[in-house]
Amino acid sequence: MPPEPTSPAVVIRQLGHAYRATRRHPPRKALDRLDLTIPSGAFFVLTGPNGSGKSTLFKILCGLTRPSTGTIHIFGHDLIAAPRAARAAMGVVFQKPALDKYLTVEENLRIHADLHDIPPALFRQRLPEALAWSDLGERLGERVETLSGGLARQAELVKVLLHQPALLLLDEPTAGLDPGGRLAFLATLKRLQKKRGVTIVMTSHLFAEAEKADLVAILRHGKLLALDSPTHLSRQLGTEILVVQGEELDTVAQDLTRHAGLTLQVQNHELRIQGESRELLALMAELLQTQRERIHTLAIKQPALEDVYIHLTGRDLFSDEEEEKR
């Protein structure tokens, strides 16, 4: 039975997961009482630094890992108590390729159809629609190992669309693609979402990819740091940010504290200043007059999700990833 259009695709309540200690690693809490609701038909991106809990949550959603605590419902089906019904609604694209590179594209697709009990007649009926958006129509007889990275990713997506899932789960799906291939793949996902109403849940450590989503969840240390549309998250910072690169920026920031209403952050040889647009323009002129010897570059930019992350944590993504490794 197809899910009700008004029911959420995914409902996560008080989800927790901890990894036991090993010889090389101490015990670690990967997810900490996570609550999350993903609307049906949304393009939803989970982002955050490596070690934030994205991969653990993805494995739990796919049924590859059983959570320590909490519940997950997929279109109303309990993933723990009724996994068969929950997984029937899913299509999964893993970060590592799941195609046999020595088989042709069509042979890989037929194997997937067999695994989902799709009879040959129905496979032939669904194949043109599954291929319609892709560039694989003339490449079905070619072995996967001869395809470019972008085309191989397309083959992965065509494969999971054959059983017509209502929920598409993708783990870092653009990994290994060049910038052009990455943009093309994301555009494909948006077309599929709009045409078929598929709910897309994608993990990515690239904030630029998350900008394309309807909703973004930013995770950090296994907790939900922020959840909203990219536009609303960016509006938290106002309309513009003045970015100053240079030396002795702590001194520059200290001098600017005399200006009321400014938010100042210094990290990685950058001073970020939030304020009203008119005030920032005046501030640029002042800095060039009074701090010219310390400043290398000045730029006013529109806030993006990366700026939201720095604002919320006081750290950039690279610094947090390095912290997670220690």
Ordered per-residue pLDDT tens for the chain, 326 residues: 444 446 899 999 999 999 887 777 777 899 999 999 999 999 999 998 888 899 999 999 999 999 999 999 999 999 999 999 999 899 999 888 889 999 999 999 999 999 989 999 999 999 988 888 788 889 999 999 999 888 888 899 899 889 889 999 999 888 877 788 788 888 888 888 888 889 999 999 888 889 889 999 999 999 999 999 998 988 877 668 899 999 999 999 888 888 877 888 887 678 988 877 788 888 889 999 999 999 999 988 888 888 888 878 766 655 555 555 54
Amino acid at 225: L
Structure tokens at 36: 């999350």
Question: Nearest to residue 307, comparing CAs of 320, 299, 316?
Answer: 316
Taken in order of first residue, the domains within the chain and their CATH numbers are 10-233 (3.40.50.300), 238-302 (3.30.70)
Query: In terms of DSSP bridges, do strands 241-246 and 270-274 run parallel, antiparallel, or are they unpaired?
Result: antiparallel
pLDDT at 326: 47
For residues 159 and 138, give the distance between their C-alpha atoms in angstroms, rounded to a whole number. 16
For 55, residues 6+ apart whose C-beta sits below 8 A from its C-beta are 171, 203
CA quadruple 193, 15, 93, 117: dihedral positive or negative?
negative
Measured CA angle at 93 (ends 89, 94), to 5 deg: 125
Q: Is 109 left (phi over 0), alpha (psi -120 to 50) or beta?
A: alpha
pLDDT at 140: 95
On whether the CB atoms of residues 177 and 153 are closer than 8 A, the answer is yes
Q: Dihedral through CA 6, CA 7, CA 9, CA 13, nearest 10?
A: 140
Question: Nearest to residue 45, comparing CAs of 214, 186, 188, 168?
Answer: 214
Beta strands in the chain, from DSSP E residues, in sequence order = 10-19, 28-38, 43-47, 69-74, 77-78, 90-93, 167-171, 199-204, 215-220, 223-228, 241-246, 263-267, 270-274, 295-301
């693609």: which residue's tokens?
A: 177
For residues 149 and 144, give the distance between their C-alpha atoms in angstroms, rounded to a whole number. 10
pLDDT at 319: 55
pLDDT at 65: 93
pLDDT at 316: 61
